[in-house]
Structure 1
Amino acid sequence: MSTLPTIRFSELDLNALSGVEGRLAVLVSPQGEMDAVARRANRLSRGALTRLVGSARFAKAKGGEVLSLAFPAGLAAEALDVVVLEKKASALDARRAGAALAKAAEGAAITLAAGSHRRAAELALGLALRSYDFLPHKTGEAAEKTLGAITLLLRDPAAVEVEAAPLLAAAEGAHLTRDLINEPANVLTTTAFADRLLELSALGVEVEVLEEADLEKLGMRMLLSVGQGSATPTKVVVMQWKGGETGAAPLALVGKGVVFDTGGISLKPGAGMEDMTMDMGGAGTVAGTMKALALRKAPANVVGLVGLVENMPSGEATRPGDVVTSMKGDTVEIINTDAEGRLVLGDVLWYAQERFAPAGVIDLATLTGAIIIGLGHENAGVFSNDDTLCGNFLKAAAAEGEGAWRMPMGPAYDRQLKSRIADMKNVGGRPAGSITAAQFLQRFVKEGTPWIHLDIAGVAHVKEDTAYAPAGATGWGVLALNRLVRDAFEAG
């Protein structure tokens, strides 16, 4: 499992800059203004920064970019990195600049002489988020790659370290989410997934694993129908963080954890099926959020529930045309076995409400290709029955720079889910596919329970680098959910 690189917060000593090894980074405004640290590095490097600031290269640079000078004279460092950043930069601008610096460093040790910059903690978060690589299945030289230490040189390192601690907790949560989503399905079976979640108990999270016999007794036939074609057992893992007032209703986070999705009998095309190792992205995001909350000891009650299952075709698999009964008691005609995520979520949503009577419920799933057609890879689809909870989440997502866009819902879409032989169908056809999926899920939300459905199919795993992550799993949602808990659900 990946961990954050070593991050140190140290006292700034201008006289020691010349001896810094690895990569030395300083901050310069887009207008070319240098603080005392950059001026010192400029003198030591015999005016290299002055020449850079006066160049056409710098004139084209934008805030948040990093310009590098290799093997600068007068310095022991192998590179002098110039981070272009306003003195009054926003939190997100500073975070992006830190991430850009980590990307430029490519895993080498970094010493950022941030001095007294007001956004030093956000710079640290950006560095931590982008300092990630998934290497457990590499061999040879690639397997030996390690992330160099990150050192921030500061006027008041103790204060910045305190400010950065909860931010780095969120980064650790995001790294866990990435690890889980990047892991291949032959390694991250439902059993292995549950075992990794049990490790959160070391942080104070109460973790419980419900096995197939337990799920059968509870009547979770929708969930069980998804996995009945696989030799891998279906499970539900319940994670409770009790940091708030005793007895206070928790926020419930519910995640789809399909560790591999072939589509079942409604088999997917072969091209691109290897990407379906990421179909447990909702469960991975819930796990990462729970880790972040535990690491920062959030004063809130939050319960995370994930349905872990594998969707495979076999002689035991659910067929199109079958009718299954949910834990709630509603019957569902299975039209397409590749619309399995909503079956997983429906039963777990109902169980979460029956057992915990939560103050609100948020479910997350890589649910539909339709949301990618609508929103691409920039925004998750947000569906909700409650303007207040939805508004709080959208505000948190915007503050963390995680794209999210509210989508419409309404009873008119329910017509597409009507079944001739059961209470509902599990698909409503191609038109408004992500909306009808949300309408299906809403049937398993009790009246009066604030609820959000997040369709993260387009943002959980991407083919190209993002600002904060290499290609692959992004960790989207951990920071937004962590902030939502902080801003709207914490005691006091």
Structure 2
Amino acid sequence: MPDILFVKPTLPRAGALVLPLAEGFTLSGLAKEADEATGGAIARGLEAAGFKGRKGQSCTLWAPGGHLSRVVAVGLGAAPEERGAEAAGGAAWPLVSGEPEAMVAAEGLNAALAAALAFGARLRSYRFDRYRTKESAEDKPKLVRLTVASTEPEAARAAHAPLSAVADGVFLARDLVSEPPNVLFPEEMAERCRKLEKLGVEVEILGPKALKELGFGALLGVAQGSAREPRVVVMQWKGASKAGKGDGNGKAGPVAFIGKGVTFDTGGISIKPAAGMEDMKFDMAGAGAVIGAMAALAGRRAKVDAVGLVGLVENMPSGTAQRPGDVVKSLSGQTVEVINTDAEGRLVLADVLWYARERFRPRFMVDLATLTGAIIVALGHEHAGLFSNDDDLAQKLAAAGTAVGEALWRMPLGEAYDKALKSDIADMKNVGGRPGGSVTAAQFIQRFIDTREGPMPWAHLDIAGTAWATKDSATVPKGATAFGVRLLDRLVAEHYEG
């Protein structure tokens, strides 16, 4: 990824120049200087290309004259705003990454928009290339420094600092989700969480012995078919306490995020079809998002007490694997008849959610999981499914998702769906059939939220359709998206700090 610098406006003497332009633009500042230095070639080129500054529009002018190798114009739309600036920065990145250096002429933008533009470029710059051994130099980005010219560089630099921490969290989550399953298994993923200790996060790893003693029967049942031992990782960021605004738990408790971390999912004895099974390496994307979000909160020193818990298992078929028809006793004491071993994520979440509730008494819990194919049938790849027992929390999550481009669509919950989970020999079955599959999965999870003490505010995000992208978008290159990292960070920033 490139270094990002914020400087006073000065026309560059080499490389690429990026011009973020709104609709109805007139060239001014560095853009006007560059146009004059090239004998009007930039204005003529933009006019000939029909560039109007519309959101999503871009135009590249090659060797326009002077010392510049290329000029790239990106549209900000009619009224420049944060998301548009991010998208413009993301659009510019692939157009200038072949240059050793580039400058963004952002002096026409305020500090927040200049920072957002740099943030978008950095998000788009992500590459997972650690296993490529024969990639040619021509195929690799050459850009090592992106300079943002601003009339208020100090303010832009300050505005970019927390965004940079969020980008670090996004990149961490993308790295985890991109790793092959022979490299990233439960023990390894748990150890990578220890890196958050450098940011001030307290990291505790529970191994098989501790999980058995505590009673994580549902989670251990999923893991028993694999030679890879399970882990549960507890991450605590005491930002409110560090700021003198809380006592570690606080009167209302910390905010709590819980992630499903199935590092590879064969389906177990209810084995999946071979076609596309390689994609099941990202069945831990919910856990990856929680880890990335905790890194983002700690990296920007968020004034909040937050806990992140991830249940890490591998779901494999073997002579010791869980069978359809088995009955397991969950940490809550409730029993589950396992009808389908490919409905394993909800079993992992059942124990981890209960543990989070009982140990931390959080003010609310949000879980993220690549849980059901049914949510993809319902919503495609444009929205994640949002299920919640609390209207206020649901509204806050949906608004945060809209603000950062991680869209949620609220789905129903209701007692009528519970009938499908009725078991003849246990408290419940782990599946309810094909109709409303994502809903009955959420209904199952909800049984581990509500207790005799009453329900706790909770939301379940089914990110099965949004965890992996099959094509590039403005700020998300093809591959792991880290969906949820920015959403959770924005939720905290807008409602739970201070």
CA contact (8 A) 1:27 1:35 kept: no
Which of 119, 124, 127 is the aligned partner of 2:118?
124
Q: SS at 1:83's partner residue?
A: strand
1:292-311: CA deviation from partner (whole Å, max 9, x where unpaired) = 00110000000000000000
CA distance in 1 between partners of 2:271 and 2:46 (Å): 58
Who is 2:44 aligned against? 51
CA contact (8 A) 2:22 2:79 kept: no
Which of 144, 153, 158 is the aligned partner of 2:154?
158
The residue type paired with residue 134 of structure 2 is G
Q: SS at 1:72's partner residue?
A: strand
Q: Does residue 92 of structure 1 match 2:83? A: yes
1:33-92: CA deviation from partner (whole Å, max 9, x where unpaired) = 222221111111211222123225325x63232211112211x23211112225841211
CA distance in 1 between partners of 2:78 and 2:401 (Å): 24
TM-score, length basis structure 1? 0.95
CA change 1:367–1:113 in 2 (3 A) is same
| 1:170 CA displacement | 1.1
Q: SS at 1:169's partner residue?
A: helix
The residue type paired with residue 220 of structure 2 is L
- Equivalent residue pairs, number: 482
Question: How does 1:219-258 map onto structure 2 within 5 Å?
Answer: 219-244=215-240, 245-246=246-247, 247-248=249-250, 249-258=253-262
Who is 2:243 aligned against? none
Question: How does 1:271-310 map onto structure 2 within 5 Å?
Answer: 271-310=275-314
CA distance in 1 between partners of 2:95 and 2:415 (Å): 50
Q: Does residue 73 of structure 1 match 2:65? A: yes
CA distance in 2 between partners of 1:86 and 1:321 (Å): 57
Who is 2:488 aligned against? 481
CA contact (8 A) 2:51 2:58 kept: no
CA distance in 2 between partners of 1:28 and 1:290 (Å): 35
CA distance in 2 between partners of 1:77 and 1:475 (Å): 35
271-280 or 38-47: bigger deviation: 38-47
CA distance in 2 between partners of 1:56 and 1:471 (Å): 28
1:146-188: CA deviation from partner (whole Å, max 9, x where unpaired) = 5522110111111101011111211111111111111100011
Who is 1:189 aligned against? 185
61-70 or 277-286: bigger deviation: 61-70
| 1:455 CA displacement | 0.2
CA distance in 2 between partners of 1:193 and 1:87 (Å): 45
CA contact (8 A) 1:32 1:53 kept: no
Which of 9, 12, 17 is the aligned partner of 2:6?
9
CA distance in 2 between partners of 1:400 and 1:481 (Å): 10
CA change 1:411–1:87 in 2 (3 A) is closer
CA distance in 1 between partners of 2:303 and 2:222 (Å): 36
User: Structure 1 stretches (4+) deviating beyond 4 angstroms?
Assistant: none
Who is 1:179 aligned against? 175
Q: Does residue 31 of structure 1 match 2:27? A: no
Which of 449, 459, 484 is the aligned partner of 1:452?
459
1:402-421: CA deviation from partner (whole Å, max 9, x where unpaired) = 11110011000000000111
| 1:31 CA displacement | 2.3
The residue type paired with residue 81 of structure 1 is V
Q: Does residue 471 of structure 1 match 2:478? A: yes
The residue type paired with residue 76 of structure 2 is L
Identity among equivalent pairs (%): 51
| 1:423 CA displacement | 0.5
147-156 or 288-297: bigger deviation: 147-156
Q: What RMSD in Å do the two structures reach over aligned CA positions?
A: 1.5
26-35 or 313-322: bigger deviation: 26-35
CA distance in 1 between partners of 2:402 and 2:36 (Å): 40
| 1:359 CA displacement | 0.5
Who is 2:387 aligned against? 383
CA contact (8 A) 2:87 2:474 kept: yes
The residue type paired with residue 468 of structure 2 is H
TM-score, length basis structure 2? 0.94
